[in-house]
Structure 1
């Protein structure tokens, strides 16, 4: 008899254990074992949470090289339950050790196939059992992960009726689910001790806003409250706030923004043309918001502008706003506001800009460019890549929780009764117009931070920490991805003949970018370099970019005057007509403010089972070189984290959103 030593590890997750009977079959190139009941001296405790249990499977003859295992569990005495095995290791009579990564919930009584951990591409399958199991896995996934159209003109999503219908493998953990529900249900109570969430009155004074705000503060949100009126801080947020994606160097003043030297340099100390030539003038253009039909909130019409903002880099390296036009078309009733205007004229212009930035950030920069794209990357991966494929092993940690968090976003944020539709100026009809316009104008290069920074002319702008940290992260991720993929793909022809890889990118092009060739998104891969760049972008988008535009939402939006989610009076059409009272009447109602604060608090809050970038608790790779590359990747991320922490220790407003220790592997909140 030939004895195989089988070691089964159960995951260390809440409710991961099973009391059901577990069975295994070993399948090799030269035969297969009998289906074996894994019963040992531990009895039912063999598969409790975190347990590692060893069994012996005996066969008359050697099975040759092991290809796969078959696992199933049956409930006899104990009720049916769900089990989360992490991996199975098998030591053969010849002394070879085979590792079978699982990391999936098994909740039924069906037989499940799991391949040995060595990565195998589809054209390398040289055994009919390997090819068969691969085909079976992808057929099952194609049935589980189906495409759906939530709304025309935006990336497609996974078809699911209820979050509980999501496959177990992509659902929140018990810990994540419990904490998310707790934060969602208690957020309003914590932020709203006076129960103002249903109050549709206007704010009467700034102190009243502060009394709500002071219930939940962060170090940065406190700073924002004190400095939100300052021009330098207004300019700073275009670089290091939650939306660092709009500002660009101005090479030519737009024809619809008739700013003159007398307006911005009244003392004649310099000219606009010369400052543009020196690269010191910057522009933010919210043209995507032009011509929208604003929402109705609390039965009242709201207002959403499409501003143009001109900024000037000063000698002390501040980015200072020098002119603001709140509508796209120049007109007598659309004045250009200047820092030399009265206090409230200038402040109101900045408030309308910050409110426009909320809509641009939330719908384009945050929802579309991170959440919706990450879902497309994940669904295509799960439909087209079996677990044994090297790209699955590389990318699956970067899909964690994405499908469920996006389902919840559609249900509670952008549905007909969602937060955006109910309380934001850009909710309802305007919301989908913005998303349509955003996808139509999206480019591949804008998703790749080195190209995006170069195209926007921001390579040498001082104090641009999003750029500094982001470029370093991109370089580290690309080096890691390059090492992994070039280990498996030695030649461009190997990329070209990998049909699963080509289906993955084909699905992304079709369902994510709606087959718009103008985006520059590849429709297929012809070279290893193309593959490396795209996979780098996928990881960067779901981890680094999402953190940059998500984690600071409450920091910069918790103090409502800095980021109003809606405004309920039109902007001034002539100068000299504004006051503090005008400002308070323009701000969102009390309930909109409180709901906005609670939502931003929920979206910014990290769960305790957070997994930082580069940490892979699930060991999908078993090859020696990829495992070493992961360790090297983690070392470089730790070094960058230490450097960022050292820099931040000297700053009044630390930039933490790209610290590898604080950003998550995936779009998970």
Structure 2
């Protein structure tokens, strides 16, 4: 038996991908027999350098092996830390090509992979492949453990979606490693933090005497003004950022005022259309509410080096859709149940501006911990760990989902060190406790919240006639439908009917692990994730949620942070003074209420770091890991890319008509996974 043109490619996106060790291969064939270990080596060549492609001939004498179905690699040599990242292998045997897309690390242990064609476990007939799949799952469950269960609120993991158990970043399994450019971006962000502090120390403002002094904090580091800087005080701009900014799912249609909201017709009547009342406009679907009164349940962080806590109002904001389609704030109540804390645009200008700043401050804090971290980062990691633990490399859902779940465990491990703890720098600059906010939100989470079609309907914001210019909804639905179409095509290609879904025991193990160990691990609440998946449609929905949350939704709430937060008064994530009463508003009161230079510098720097793309970013629709070898599926991927290109053109043409383009969901701005 001779296997010629055994072509192997070493990955070129990771600096550690190469190896100087001796690489050996064993080939198992359809007969169940295998070759001996064969060394892959070209004399006096560095065979496995980054990006290297090499051809080898493997000759076998002995029992017939048959056509190759499993490749097993191992490394021998002097290196203690043995690892090699191989992209793919193509084996030519009897003039036929056999593709093995791998994109995995060969580490201290052996690595076995099957042929590239995806296969459901119940359809596997080869005993060697059956055994290999079972062995791979068993290994992965030990290699990728869930974090330990805990009953103590002192433990970081308490009350959070479950995540990967790892002590420090260097221990993150290699399958989750960041690429060279992604790692460099993280390093640059740390350097930028130090540079910002240094620059602002020497050439930044020494004190804040007027609101424009906050602009000097980013001018010194080479940043331009946000595009809306001239309009940030306007009600129309305030409403635009609430409607379709980086926290676009934090409001609902208001059909009845909550009991703790004291806004009346007398407060807002002159801001409504002639002859209309607050009750009639609520009935007509023109009143919307952002209710943050639940923030009363969340601890406030302590101001660094001060014996007091940050202020964060438990505010309620009412918004009105005008005849011209503007989304305007008509009332902000800073203290629920206190009618004296209701402010409107008819109040003195400083009173009204400060009320809007307090509202935006609460919105910013909740955005960072709930809408950004919990609903994208944390959920994506739970999806990721369950997927890598339970689905073998040759499972079609592994191939479908892996590109969207490859980096999040790494970046989240960093967040659990640098962002979430009580004494973390970022947490100390934001008014609301990170863990307190996330725990409170996860307690009430349901998987339907991550289904944009259900979320829009449940919030009463799905009607474009009632709520125009809601670009997140319009673009998000388009992206969702494109993802769903792609997922539907792939899933239906492998699962011909509901019986195929029910019989897939690897899939059912994945669903059970995700529901019971990922979501219900502490309180028994699976949060809408089924423990068993019974239909093709249900599987399509869950996979669409996973991909959308890990790509489009993250883009919608993350990459606009710099332009939103860089001018601190526009949306400060913390405040110093307690909320004002009517008549107390003044420029001095506003300046005294806003965060100081040190806190503002931290907020500015983290917004900058979180908004950066890496130089090697892979965007939605691109093939990060070409794991599928089936021509039919490759065609589906091409169709998906074409659909996204059409949407990009549609959004581009729409944006040309807008004063401030909505670019957060442009397909070429949506990374394929969460890596920052």
Q: TM-score range by the shorter chain?
A: over 0.9
After TM superposition, give the deviation of residue 640 of structure 1 in Å. 1.1
1:250 counterpart residue number: 254
1:208 counterpart residue number: 213
Point out the more displaced range, 123-132 or 549-558. 123-132
After TM superposition, give the deviation of residue 183 of structure 1 in Å. 2.1
Q: Residue 399 of structure 2 is aligned with which of 382, 393, 399?
A: 393
Check if 1:327 corresponds to 2:335. Answer: yes
Cα pair 1:290 1:327 within 8 Å, conserved? no
Say if 1:18 and 1:549 are closer, same or farther in 2 by CA, change over 3 A. Answer: same
Cα pair 1:188 1:598 within 8 Å, conserved? no
Cα pair 1:224 1:562 within 8 Å, conserved? no
2:534 counterpart residue number: 526
Cα pair 2:204 2:216 within 8 Å, conserved? no
> In the aligned structure 2, how far is the partner of 1:623 from the partner of 1:535?
20
Say if 1:442 and 1:654 are closer, same or farther in 2 by CA, change over 3 A. Answer: same
Q: Which runs of 5+ in 2 are unaligned?
A: 150-155
After TM superposition, give the deviation of residue 404 of structure 1 in Å. 0.8
1:130 counterpart residue number: 129
2:234 counterpart residue number: 230
After superposition, where does 1:121-520 map in structure 2 within 5 Å?
121-148=120-147, 149=149, 150-190=156-196, 193-195=199-201, 203-216=208-221, 221-266=225-270, 269-298=275-304, 299=306, 300-328=308-336, 330-331=337-338, 334-427=340-433, 431-458=434-461, 459-460=463-464, 461-514=467-520, 517=525, 519-520=527-528
Per-residue CA deviation, residues 184-233 of structure 1 (Å, 9 max, x unaligned), is: 2223414751327999x8633223212113235767x5223322211011
After TM superposition, give the deviation of residue 140 of structure 1 in Å. 1.7
> In the aligned structure 1, how far is the partner of 2:130 from the partner of 2:642?
37
Per-residue CA deviation, residues 362-396 of structure 1 (Å, 9 max, x unaligned), is: 11111110000000000000110110111101111
Say if 1:511 and 1:3 are closer, same or farther in 2 by CA, change over 3 A. Answer: closer
Cα pair 1:477 1:540 within 8 Å, conserved? yes
Per-residue CA deviation, residues 544-576 of structure 1 (Å, 9 max, x unaligned), is: 00000001011101111011121111111x311
Point out the more displaced range, 559-568 or 123-132. 123-132
Say if 1:404 and 1:80 are closer, same or farther in 2 by CA, change over 3 A. Answer: closer
1:63 counterpart residue number: 65
Q: Report SS of the residue matched to 1:194.
A: helix
After TM superposition, give the deviation of residue 175 of structure 1 in Å. 2.4
> In the aligned structure 2, how far is the partner of 1:132 from the partner of 1:412?
42
> In the aligned structure 2, how far is the partner of 1:590 from the partner of 1:662?
32
Q: Report SS of the residue matched to 1:32.
A: coil
Point out the more displaced range, 640-649 or 367-376. 640-649
Say if 1:512 and 1:344 are closer, same or farther in 2 by CA, change over 3 A. Answer: farther
After superposition, where does 1:486-635 map in structure 2 within 5 Å?
486-514=492-520, 517=525, 519-572=527-580, 574-635=581-642
Q: Report SS of the residue matched to 1:435.
A: helix
> In the aligned structure 1, how far is the partner of 2:525 from the partner of 2:20?
53
Q: Residue 671 of structure 2 is aligned with which of 647, 661, 664?
A: 664
Say if 1:412 and 1:79 are closer, same or farther in 2 by CA, change over 3 A. Answer: closer
Q: Which runs of 5+ in 1 are unaligned?
A: none
Per-residue CA deviation, residues 83-127 of structure 1 (Å, 9 max, x unaligned), is: 22111111111x22111122122343x322111111122222322
After TM superposition, give the deviation of residue 21 of structure 1 in Å. 1.9
> In the aligned structure 2, how far is the partner of 1:196 from the partner of 1:395?
48
After TM superposition, give the deviation of residue 410 of structure 1 in Å. 0.8
Q: Report SS of the residue matched to 2:56.
A: strand
Cα pair 1:188 1:594 within 8 Å, conserved? no
Cα pair 1:365 1:549 within 8 Å, conserved? yes
Cα pair 2:420 2:435 within 8 Å, conserved? no
> In the aligned structure 2, how far is the partner of 1:250 from the partner of 1:420?
34
2:153 counterpart residue number: none
Cα pair 1:568 1:586 within 8 Å, conserved? yes
Q: Report SS of the residue matched to 2:45.
A: helix
> In the aligned structure 1, how far is the partner of 2:4 from the partner of 2:184?
41
After TM superposition, give the deviation of residue 518 of structure 1 in Å. 7.5
After superposition, where does 1:47-86 map in structure 2 within 5 Å?
47-60=48-61, 62-75=64-77, 82-86=83-87
Q: Report SS of the residue matched to 2:104.
A: coil
> In the aligned structure 2, how far is the partner of 1:301 from the partner of 1:6?
64
After TM superposition, give the deviation of residue 265 of structure 1 in Å. 1.4
Cα pair 2:386 2:518 within 8 Å, conserved? no
After superposition, where does 1:91-106 map in structure 2 within 5 Å?
91-93=92-94, 95-106=95-106
After TM superposition, give the deviation of residue 529 of structure 1 in Å. 0.4
Q: Residue 39 of structure 1 is aligned with which of 23, 26, 41?
A: 41
After TM superposition, give the deviation of residue 657 of structure 1 in Å. 0.9
Cα pair 1:2 1:62 within 8 Å, conserved? no
> In the aligned structure 1, how far is the partner of 2:407 from the partner of 2:164?
13
> In the aligned structure 1, how far is the partner of 2:481 from the partner of 2:331?
36
After TM superposition, give the deviation of residue 353 of structure 1 in Å. 0.4
Say if 1:242 and 1:402 are closer, same or farther in 2 by CA, change over 3 A. Answer: same
> In the aligned structure 1, how far is the partner of 2:428 from the partner of 2:262?
36
> In the aligned structure 2, how far is the partner of 1:195 from the partner of 1:500?
57
2:152 counterpart residue number: none
Count of aligned positions? 657
> In the aligned structure 1, how far is the partner of 2:333 from the partner of 2:574?
18
